[in-house]
Chains A and B, each alone.
Chain A
Amino acid sequence: MTRLLRFAAALLSVVLLHVLGVSLVPEFARVIDLFLVLTVLYAMGGDPLVGLLVGLAAGLCHDVFTGGLFALHGFADTLVGYGLARLVQRLVIDRVSGAFLVAGVASAVQQVVLAGLVLLLLPEPELPEPVWIVVRAAATGAAAAAVLLASRNLRQGLAERRQRRSQRLHLD
């Protein structure tokens, strides 16, 4: 239940940040995919079911903010979330640079899946420009790495504080 609430809060934050970003910087949605950042961060936990469900929910939310067919991002993010979680079961991604790489590749895969779906389903589809695919992959990778680093530092800081406090208690 707590996990579900935590995820709901994270998705809500992503929606708010996405809308805020687009309101302030018109190119925001073109440059970065915060919904995918959320999917990647959850999928990096290594549970394929979590990756699948988070990808589905985040992707469908993203679809509301895009034109064209509904469930395009839902499909792509589900696939990426599940695939990444399976990959993480086989790889150890401990460094922030690894997270950047994984999130960047996930973003590129997601955009290729989106383009493939659009090509398959629409008669005269519009496709993203290759340069924007690279920019978006880099930005999404950087955002995922930054969030991971920040959360790791926060966790480490909290652990150190707890340790100091327990040492003080022992001394007393």
Chain B
Amino acid sequence: MNERRTTWLLIAVLAGQLLLLSVQAPAAAAGGGDNFLESTVLRGVAPLAHLVSSVVQGGRGLGDDWRLRGNLAEENAALQRRVDELELEVMRLSSLESEVDRLSEALDYRQSSERALRVADVVYADHSSWLRTLILYVGDQPAVVNQPVISEDGLVGRVVEVVPHYAKVQLITDRAAAVGAMIHRTRRQGVVRSGPGGLELDFLPQQADVRVGDRVVTSGIDGIYPRDLPVGVITAVAHGEELFYDLHLEPAVDFGVLDQVYLLAPQPIPAEME
């Protein structure tokens, strides 16, 4: 191909990509987006990531097994003690739950139905670079766009791209992500977003009662995440320039150690309510 044709090809390729980027930009700013080209490349590349992740985890598992062989008896005894403690806790919580049910019935209050959880393997996690992301292996049952993703410690993010067996997740630490959240102690609501210094809780007026160490949970008002999922803990409280606080959060989840996460069954807002 001659030089002139190559230059025209370059212009066409760059213009095409620029168009693709500008089409995605409003959706990304609004927190959504799903595109055919990305799905196609993800479909080809995700199985490779899965393969490497399986090999690495297998290797780590072997190493851990070898290390743990020495103190199995000791660990077994500790786990048995922990099981006993947890059984007592379950008994206590069961009695509390039945009490709540009785009171709810008396008040004619219907609780929102519990959402089903599904395990998904993390096959690729980049939480350190400035364009952070997570790719999951979800098995035969496909994930759904906007499906909440959680770990044992709290909220991880939501699904933004779906291909057969795999899903791409937008982490709550992504600049484009926003989570309806509230202070657990006072139920005061705001929005968790990622800022230059990490996670921030925005739109909390300065007359609100906020302290360092307050737990922040989801408020359930964004139509994506259910209520009361741990998001993080307040680490710094400062008076902002406007009417609101500058609040910094430590995420509840350590994104560096995620190897399995849970997909919460989606519970979309009914169409007539939107």
Q: Which residues of A does B touch, CB under 8 Å?
A: 12, 15-16, 19-20, 22-24, 26-27, 29-30, 48-49, 52, 56, 60-61, 63-72, 74-75, 78-79, 82, 117, 121-129, 132
Contact = CB atoms under 8 A, between A and B. Distances in A.
Contact of A48 (B3, B24, B52): B3
Contacts of A125: 175
B14 A75 contact: yes
A66 B131 contact: yes
10 contacts: A15-B45, A19-B53, A29-B129, A30-B128, A63-B41, A70-B21, A70-B38, A71-B24, A82-B6, A127-B130
B52 A23 contact: yes
Nearest to B48: A15
B175 A72 contact: no
A132 B128 CA distance: 11
How many interface residues does chain B have, given as a range? 35 or more
Nearest to A25: B128
B13 A67 contact: no
B133 A65 contact: yes
A166 B29 CA distance: 65
A67 B37 contact: no
Contacts of A69: 21, 24-25, 28
A172 B194 CA distance: 74
A68 B25 CA distance: 9
Contact of A52 (B6, B38, B51, B135): B6
B38 to A, nearest CB: 4
B130 A126 contact: yes
Interface string B154-186: 000000000000001011001110000000000
A126 B175 contact: yes
Contacts of A64: 38, 41-42, 45-46, 135, 168
A20 to B, nearest CB: 5
Nearest to A114: B131
